[in-house]
Chains A and B, each alone.
Chain A
Amino acid sequence: MINIKNLHASVEGNEILKGIDLRINAGEVHAIMGPNGSGKSTLASVLAGKEDYEITEGSVSFDGKNLLDMDADIRAKEGLFLAFQYPVEIPGVSNVNFLKLALNEIRAYRGQELMTAREFLTQLKEKSALVELDGKLKDRSVNEGFSGGEKKRNDIFQMAMLEPRFAIMDETDSGLDIDALRIVAKGVNSMRNKDRSFLIITHYQRLLDYIKPDFVHVLSDGKIVKTGGPELALKLEEKGYDWIKEEVA
């Protein structure tokens, strides 16, 4: 599904990603862990199409297409989704109107029929209930007045509405209490299927108790330095990152 080869990225002349290789197949859930400053969020931003980064080397193909050539909205239309580490508040932009417009732009791009108002409302109701945000979205601006947890749940709700094929969760779990974490995980798990892949970026092993990954990668200083199964996350939780750094050195 997504194939990252030797990806290098810099911001203002500082190289953050120093040669990432990662292949994610349809239906797989990959977790990326790593210490602060290792480049986790940069990877998420680069994949989603944020323009602050300069790609100096490497390639990313998404179902055979060159992802790095696409604008952020085209990536979304092609089926990529980013759940933000810090979802922004956008005063004056209605949650519901914005999502409806986005959904229909995506559907038009994919050659699907546009959603009727009735269909949209049915889905809205069903999927906002999934993340326990029902009744909190109507007549409100995007994330305005939402708590940290509600903002993250809103992102998961949007993911459920937009039905991407590949979703990146950028530290969706950080700052969440255990109840919010459970709700977020429930949302993600309900969407797992053989065609949809996930890249879960996290600082803590805790999330992986709720969302079982197929693979765990350790990112350190802009490179993936170790790859394993779920047991790797447990080992990291127990021993920290230093032993890997030593191993790599």
Chain B
Amino acid sequence: MSLTETVSIMNVFEAFQPATHSGSTRIDKVRAEAKAALELLPIPGRKTEAWKYTPVTPLVTHAWKPAKEGAEVDLSTLDIPHMDAYRMVFVDGYFRAECSDEHLPENVVLLPMSYAKDAEKENFDSVYGKQADHQKDLFIALNTAYASNGVFLRLKKNSVLDKPVHVIHVYTQADTAVMTRNIIIAEQGSKGEMIHSSIHRAKPIHSNVVTEVRVEDNAHFVLDKLQGGTDSSFHFSGEEVFQGRDASTTINTITLAGAWTRNEPHIRLKGSNSICYLNGAYFPTGKELIDNHTVIDHLVPHCESHELYKGVVYQQSKGVFNGKVFVRPDAQKTNAFQQNANIVMSEQASMNSKPELEIYADDVKCSHGSTTGQLDREALFYLQCRGLNYVAAKQMLVHAFVGEVVDRLTSLELKEYIWRKLEEKLA
């Protein structure tokens, strides 16, 4: 780490100084801590193992500006067709009440963070900055230092959300960086699903979303992330999940596009008999880079984790998968499964896949697999021989390959939307 690097990152984000007082002592406290950390945290480079294949330079050196409020945006094309959901819209990080649903069931609290910090003070303070480590992780520190808004979702005890919450983030201003912070609390016995769409409409844009999720005992929560960037969007997404006993968490990460995308779901299984699913699909084309760095931490006995990531890597693009699984000394009877499979479609494309299992308990079942190959030429020829043209045959095989991941989503409308977007992209 050199002094110039640390100076530069503070310079880059200098213009982002939020109001000295946010109105929340909790926010002010973690902001100050994060800023202090930013002064010290090194910029990861090629020699930093976790960032070996993913250069961060453009994110921390480009002259990013804060976005202005009130940008005009055509919201009509943002919805997932036929999807029935409670909608909440942010444009360039600013909450848009006029496009968001006001009426929610009584057992659900859905608010922008700017309201929740007061209205839900106790719950808010119990999570904010407690799960995401702004002391050690540069991008979490950046987020914590400069995040101004986001979603607060609380599913009250034993409540069942009748339809998903759909949070839509549209980014419309070139050269802006937008930091968003979400808090989700699924209280004991509750059940719900949130879809989080990130849509970039100008370039370049740097977006950073950190979501702290507390899934309490016997609660069941699903988060679907849809990422549709541009050929010069930079998107960081970190999910910091604490999960209680008898609970389940699912995070589906579908990266349709984006010049630079880094996903860091991090699940801590803190109560026994808990289960978590991480599913991911990614389709980099052109010169895009999509990096999925996952961490599942088995801290207690009798938990299960299932991880399936599949990617199709085109042209000169890059894919990265790193799946870390910790099985701590107490976590006996753990079942942990991880699978990463990739198809590399061109000689210029590359994929780096690395499973990392650290197992400190002796009575566990853990497996992992990583495969990277080309499209099955025999299968392609078979389909062509039956009359499908080359493009249709190829698409059918790609569809079949990633279908295993997409089929794990529960919503039919969401699946159809993903397939349609993919077809558009790969056409």
Contact = CB atoms under 8 A, between A and B. Distances in A.
Interface of A: 48-51, 71-73, 75-77, 81-82, 84, 87-88, 90-93, 98-99, 101-103, 105-106, 109, 141-142, 158, 162
Contacts, number: 75
B371 to A, nearest CB: 13
A157 to B, nearest CB: 12
B387 A106 contact: yes
B279 to A, nearest CB: 15
Contact of A90 (B382, B385, B389): B382
Contacts of A142: 382
A81 B381 CA distance: 12
B400 A91 contact: yes
Contacts of A88: 376, 378-379, 382
B387 A76 contact: yes
Nearest to B386: A102
17 contacts: A49-B385, A71-B384, A72-B384, A72-B385, A73-B385, A76-B385, A76-B386, A87-B382, A90-B379, A90-B400, A92-B399, A92-B401, A92-B403, A93-B399, A101-B388, A105-B387, A106-B387
A76 B400 CA distance: 22
Interface stretch (B1-9, B55-63, B116-124, B390-398): B390-398
Contacts of B388: 73, 98, 101-102, 105
A158 B386 contact: yes
Query: Which A-B residue pairs are the 5 nearest by beta carbons?
Result: A92-B400, A76-B387, A72-B384, A102-B387, A102-B386
B404 interface: yes
A75 B388 CA distance: 11
A109 B387 CA distance: 10
Best-surrounded residue of B381, B382, B388 (most CB of chain A within 10 A): B382
B395 to A, nearest CB: 10
Best-surrounded residue of B384, B389, B399 (most CB of chain A within 10 A): B384
A98 B385 contact: no
Given A92-B400, A98-B396, A162 B387 contact: yes
A57 B65 CA distance: 65
A71 B388 CA distance: 10
A98 B404 CA distance: 17
Contacts of B399: 92-93
A99 B400 contact: no
B411 to A, nearest CB: 20
Contacts of A99: 386
A110 to B, nearest CB: 10
B357 interface: no
A47 to B, nearest CB: 11
Given A90-B397, A93-B397, A105-B392, A73 B387 contact: yes
A72 B381 contact: yes
Given A88-B378, A93-B379, 8 more contacts: A49-B385, A71-B390, A73-B387, A76-B384, A81-B385, A92-B400, A93-B399, A109-B387
B383 interface: yes
A57 to B, nearest CB: 23
A168 to B, nearest CB: 10
B397 A82 contact: no
A93 B378 contact: no
Contacts of B381: 50-51, 72
Contacts of A158: 386
Contacts of B376: 88, 90
B397 A77 contact: no
Contacts of A71: 384, 389-390
A106 to B, nearest CB: 4
A72 B384 CA distance: 6
Best-surrounded residue of B382, B386, B389, B404 (most CB of chain A within 10 A): B386
Contacts of A109: 387
A93 B396 contact: yes
A43 to B, nearest CB: 15
Best-surrounded residue of A73, A77, A105, A158 (most CB of chain B within 10 A): A73
Best-surrounded residue of A51, A71, A76 (most CB of chain B within 10 A): A76
A84 B386 contact: no
